[in-house]
């Protein structure tokens, strides 16, 4: 099982397997700009002129925050706003492509067509 340090160190190539994390990010309008924060990560607040910029700033801040945890030997904040979903095999991503994961809240399974 790879360590978080292996995953976050840009000098170390990713292994075939890595951890998939689920992290709650709250993004809200703040006057003429946007504010984003991660409840599980104390003090992680960013902003941006657009929703996309705030989201991009949050993603970068999350990476820095996780890297800092690893470098200081601290545990990942696991709880209702952050969890390890699973260890998974990473699909090769072509050079220049971007990988995004989307997680949505859905009211119930009965509304999803699953019975």
More confident residue, 21 or 53: 53
pTM for this entry:
0.59
DSSP string computed for the chain: ---HHHHH-TTSPPPSEEEEEEE--EEEEETTEEEEE-TTSTT-EEEESSHHHHHHHHHHHHHHHHHHHHHTTPPP--BTTEEEEEEEEPPP--TT----------S-GGGTT--
Other CB atoms within 10 Å distance of the CB of residue 19: 16
Q: Grade residue 57 by pLDDT with cuts at 50, 70 and 90.
A: very high
Write the pLDDT tens digit of every residue in 6-48.
344 444 444 555 667 788 899 999 999 999 999 989 999 999 9
Q: What is the structure's pLDDT at 5? A: 40
Arithmetic mean of pLDDT over the chain: 75
More confident residue, 64 or 84: 64
**Residue range 4-90, CATH number:** 3.30.160.250
Q: What is the structure's pLDDT at 76? A: 81
Contact status, residue 60 vs residue 47, Cβ threshold 8 Å: no
Contact status, residue 38 vs residue 46, Cβ threshold 8 Å: no
Q: Give the chain's radius of gyration (CA, Å).
A: 16
Distance, in Å, from the CA atom of 82 to the CA atom of 4, rounded to the nearest integer, reads 15
């Amino acid at each position: 099982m790879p360590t978080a340090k292996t995953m976050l160190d840009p000098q170390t190539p990713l292994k075939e397997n890595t951890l998939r994390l689920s992290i709650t990010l709250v993004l809200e309008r703040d006057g003429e700009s946007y504010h984003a924060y991660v409840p599980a990560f104390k003090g992680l607040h960013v902003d941006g002129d657009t929703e996309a910029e705030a989201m991009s700033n949050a993603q970068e801040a999350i990476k820095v925050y996780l890297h800092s945890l690893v470098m200081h030997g601290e545990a990942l904040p696991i709880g209702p706003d952050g969890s390890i979903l699973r260890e998974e095999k990473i699909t090769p991503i072509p050079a220049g492509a971007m990988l995004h994961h989307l997680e949505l809240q859905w009211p119930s399974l009965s509304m999803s067509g699953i019975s």
